[in-house]
Structure 1
């Protein structure tokens, strides 16, 4: 029999604590598995980590873990040609299912922030390679 108290699973053998980074990793993987997600989009802290040479799978994911529940924020870049609202909804569903199944926590919300659209065609890249982005 398992009880959850204070973000810690307790059973007759002892306590099991699930770290925030575990929920982040599960969320990141679930989001990246959705068709139309080009990649996760990190914020300022993630960009600093990237400049320091630290590459993290969880860039673009923020979580809050409470006693029995958690909430997740995912920042994504969508591939051009996919319906943005459909991709975002699929990310929500995938993250909710993966986190709740793997951790036993109740996921109260999954907020998806679409940061950009990525155009993947070589033709587009060739036409715009002389444009300088400031």
Structure 2
């Protein structure tokens, strides 16, 4: 658990890493140029059976009391990968901070695929 707030008189608020993963996944998906989040084999198998994984494509690590987020994305063909990656980093960091008041040390973007987007 990650401690978000500490009010001596009221108690503590803790945020589970899975919650940070959901926030990061949704924030990354909102960025123009991100076509899909890249999950694991387990994620793909679970989706075949109708289970939705809201943390798909995100890995949260606690390293020396610092939060490190790894995001695995598929980018649309023709989009500038550095610009999309930077936008994902900024949106993930700012969204997590806005919702939890937690500082993120790193947001690492892993572009695992390019997809040609067909327009109808």
Kindly indicate whether the alpha-carbon contact (under 8 Å) linking 1:49 and 1:55 is maintained by their aligned counterparts in 2.
Answer: yes
Quick one: which of 2, 10, 19 aligns to 1:7? 2
State how many pairs are aligned. 118
Unaligned runs of 5+ in 1: 1-5, 124-134
- Structure 1 residues 68 and 105: alpha-carbon distance in aligned structure 2, compared to 1, 3 A threshold: farther
Which 10-residue stretch deviates more, 106-115 or 51-60? Answer: 51-60
Task: Kindly provide the CA deviation profile for residues 23-65 of structure 1, in whole angstroms up to 9, marking residues without a partner as x.
Answer: 0111011101111000111122312322333121211111124
Determine the structure 2 residue equivalent to 1:58: 55
Per the normalisation by structure 1, the TM-score is 0.78
Structure-2 residue corresponding to 1:115 = 112
Structure 1: distance between partners of 2:70 and 2:25: 10
Aligned to 2:14: 17
Query: Which of structures 1 and 2 has the bigger CA Rg?
Result: 1
Shift in Å, 1:122: 5.9
Secondary structure at 1:56 match in 2: coil
> Quick check: 1:26–1:98 contact (8 Å CA) kept in 2?
yes
SS in 1 for 2:59: strand
User: TM-score, normalised to structure 2's length?
Assistant: 0.86
